[in-house]
């Protein structure tokens, strides 16, 4: 009889437990969007998906180092729903609406393509769905509009371009008479080249633009552009190519001697440096869109992440994988900060947003600060080096690091204006 009484009491207590406490046990549904097919899948989308799978599994299993040791997000397990980013921006808008309205996910983390981010951002705002961009570097997202529900936890293309200009000026000891560009003809490529050209003109007065080539995204064949750039005989050639376009460019430009004729900067070259090691000669300037891959710091989170990823997939994580992990950890940090402020109860979307704004958090790539874009856009340090083959293994040499505030504009200042004014803070 005593046992039965105790059982009834326990069941009654559970039945009348606070709703917030029970809700905390419900899983969080996260829509994760990245390229799962097409030319961007292998170098970007699949590594990002792999990182998302690791992070969800390990967070649910409380296997992530401090300060992320708590289960899931604030004790709530994570459920991931994957969506393929392939296809036009209109398709991505439809898929986003499906995630938000049909599948009722709690948040969306994703997007590699700058064009897709520009298309999705106003829809996220319309549907009031917390959305975290993990890559898509165009600075236009928060320069052209203000968003409440949209965040980006990686730096913009401005950081890549300014860092590249600083690096190549030092590498060439300022002896640069002309520059050329080969960039994809859409937001990412256009913004990358504009910022690089403007930065070079600030840092090296009198430098001339020999040619700027803007082929179509995913064109795949670049012999005409390579011929034009070779004929221009520029001292420095800048390319922000990514995905299969980057790999095709390397394979087509190498045999024609472009890497020997000019100092070539590949701002996203890290994603191809291992796969195409034998096709990249020493001395090519390699970027990783931040302190990722070979430029990642020696901290506990990075040691854990890089080992866990490499052990599972047999290759080191590239910057797309780092950025996905960074986005998930940043969202977790914001969610748990909001939960703490809410007395330990599950936070609302508005509370999570308030916690995310101007948040500083740790990642495998070091410190991330959400300090521009009215607190919705991250800045990080960045690094560049040159390719060097050592015993058949691709490495980077002559590495230079640039603090976040040196390569990112201040809050409220457009990248173009900041560069034109001589990078003034």
What pLDDT does 23 receive? Answer: 41
DSSP 8-state code for residue 186 = S
- Look at residue 123 and give its three-state secondary structure: helix
Query: pTM to 2 decimals?
Result: 0.92
Same domain, 76 and 202: no
Burial class (CB in 10 A: 0-12, 13-18, 19+), 131: buried
What pLDDT does 177 receive? Answer: 97
What pLDDT band is residue 174 in, cutting at 50, 70 and 90?
A: confident
Q: Are 272 and 246 in contact (CB under 8 A)?
A: yes
In a 13 Å sphere around the CA of 316, the CA atoms on its Cβ side amount to 19
What distance in Å separates the CA atoms of residue 346 and residue 342, rounded to the nearest whole number? 7
Please check whether residue 425 lies inside any domain of the structure: no
Mean pLDDT of 253-275: 96
Return the structure tokens found at 185.
């003809």
- Look at residue 359 and give its three-state secondary structure: coil
Q: How many CB atoms lie within 10 A of CB 368?
A: 26
Same domain, 79 and 10: yes
Same domain, 142 and 125: yes
pLDDT in tens, 126-142: 999 999 999 999 999 99
Q: How many CB atoms lie within 10 A of CB 358?
A: 14
Cis before residue 67, ω within 30 degrees of 0?
yes
From 212, 168, 218, select the one nearest 194 (Cα to Cα). Answer: 212
Kindly tell me if the per-residue pLDDT of 330 is higher than 60. Answer: yes
Kindly tell me if the per-residue pLDDT of 280 is higher than 80. Answer: yes
For 274, the domain range is 158-294+381-420
Please check whether residue 358 lies inside any domain of the structure: yes
Query: In angstroms, how far apart are the furthest CA atoms of the chain?
Result: 95
Same domain, 111 and 182: no
pLDDT in tens, 380-421: 999 999 999 998 899 999 999 999 999 999 999 999 999 999
């Amino acid at each position: 009889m005593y046992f039965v009484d105790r059982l009834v009491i326990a069941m009654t207590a559970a039945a009348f437990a606070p709703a917030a406490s029970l809700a905390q046990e419900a899983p969080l549904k996260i829509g994760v969007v990245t390229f799962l097919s097409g030319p961007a899948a292998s170098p970007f989308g699949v590594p990002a998906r792999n990182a998302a799978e690791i992070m969800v599994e390990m967070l649910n299993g409380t296997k992530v180092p401090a300060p992320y040791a708590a289960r899931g997000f604030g004790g709530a397990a994570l459920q991931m729903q994957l969506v393929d980013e392939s296809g036009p921006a209109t398709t991505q808008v439809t898929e986003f609406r499906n995630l938000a309205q049909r599948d009722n996910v709690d948040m969306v983390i994703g997007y590699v393509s700058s064009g897709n981010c520009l298309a999705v951002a106003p829809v996220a705002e319309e549907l009031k769905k917390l959305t975290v961009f993990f890559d898509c570097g165009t600075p236009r997202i928060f320069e052209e509009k203000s968003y409440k529900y949209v965040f980006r936890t990686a730096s913009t293309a401005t950081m890549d371009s300014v860092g590249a200009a600083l690096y190549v000026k030092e590498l060439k000891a300022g002896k640069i008479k002309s520059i050329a560009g080969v960039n994809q003809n859409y937001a990412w490529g256009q913004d990358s080249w504009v910022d690089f050209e403007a930065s070079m003109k600030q840092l090296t007065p009198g430098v001339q633009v020999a040619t700027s080539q803007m082929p179509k995204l995913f064109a795949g064949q670049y012999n005409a552009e390579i011929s034009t750039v070779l004929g221009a005989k520029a001292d420095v050639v800048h390319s922000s190519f990514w995905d299969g376009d980057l790999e095709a460019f390397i394979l087509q430009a190498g045999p024609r001697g472009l890497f020997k004729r000019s100092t070539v900067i590949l701002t996203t070259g890290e994603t191809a440096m291992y796969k195409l090691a034998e096709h990249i000669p020493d001395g090519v300037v390699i970027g990783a869109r931040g302190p990722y891959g070979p430029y990642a710091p020696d901290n506990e989170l990075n040691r854990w992440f890089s080992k866990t990823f490499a052990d599972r997939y047999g290759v080191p994580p590239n910057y797309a994988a780092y950025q996905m992990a960074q986005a998930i950890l940043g969202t977790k940090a914001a969610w748990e900060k909001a939960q703490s402020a809410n007395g330990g109860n599950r936070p609302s979307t508005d509370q999570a947003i308030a916690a995310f704004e101007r948040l500083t958090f740790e990642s495998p790539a070091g410190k991330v600060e959400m300090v521009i874009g009215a607190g919705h856009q991250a800045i990080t340090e960045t690094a560049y080096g040159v390719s060097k083959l050592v015993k058949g293994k691709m490495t980077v040499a002559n590495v230079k690091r640039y603090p976040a505030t040196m390569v990112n504009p201040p809050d409220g200042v457009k990248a173009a204006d900041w560069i034109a004014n001589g990078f003034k803070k």
